[in-house]
Amino acid sequence: MFGVTVRDHMMIAHSLRGEVFGPAQRLHGATYVVDATFRRADVDADGIVVDIGRAAEALRAVVGELSYRNLDDEADFAGTNTTTEELARVVADRLADRVRAGDLGDGARELDGIVVTLHESHVAWASYERPL
């Protein structure tokens, strides 16, 4: 099994609903350093899992949709707690949509799965892994 990972980041504001979040119930923010891993059983004829340039562009586009925003005001997240876990899923799902739409090239349709990790600090991160 092969994997290729690209890294980018996004800076957002949000608040979290639920006593479990303590002070994070207040409006605050985060930088998420985002790692997106594309997994595939074998490489293609060029010797790659995916066009890494296109993968990086797709990730940049996905984090760009979230960056420099207050997620509490985004219609997409109405009723959703934008925890690190949920945001990892959102990034993975949006990348999967782009893979299916052909944005990463025809070969990317051979991908087996995506893993997205969001680092919220030097001591905490969350990841979400899904098939394609």
Angle, helices 84-100 vs 52-66, to 10°: value is: 130
Among 34, 46, 60, which residue's Cα sits nearest to residue 110?
46
Nearer to a second copy (CB atom), residue 24 or residue 132: 24
Report the SS3 class of residue 1: coil
Q: How far is the CB of 84 from a second copy (least distance, A)?
A: 7
Calpha distance 65→124 (Å, rounded): 23
Given a contact cutoff of 8 angstroms between Cβ atoms, the answer to whether 118 and 84 are in contact is yes
Q: Applying CB under 8 A, does 57 fall inside the site for a second copy? A: no
Give the nearest distance from C-beta 54 to a second copy in angstroms.
9
- Largest Cα–Cα separation, the chain: 52
Q: Contacting a second copy (CB under 8 A), which of 61, 67, 110, 112?
A: 67
- Closest Cα partner for 102 from 63, 51, 43, 27? 51
What mask of x and - would describe binding to a second copy in positions 8 to 37, judged by CB under 8 A?
xx-xxxx-xxx-xxxxx-xxxxxxxx----
Smallest gap from Cβ 89 to a second copy, in A, equals 8
**Segment 78 to 97, residues that bind a second copy, using CB under 8 A:** 80-86, 88-89
Residues that bind a second copy in the complex, under the rule CB under 8 A: 1-9, 11-14, 16-18, 20-24, 26-33, 43, 46-49, 51-53, 56, 67-70, 80-86, 88-89, 105, 120-129
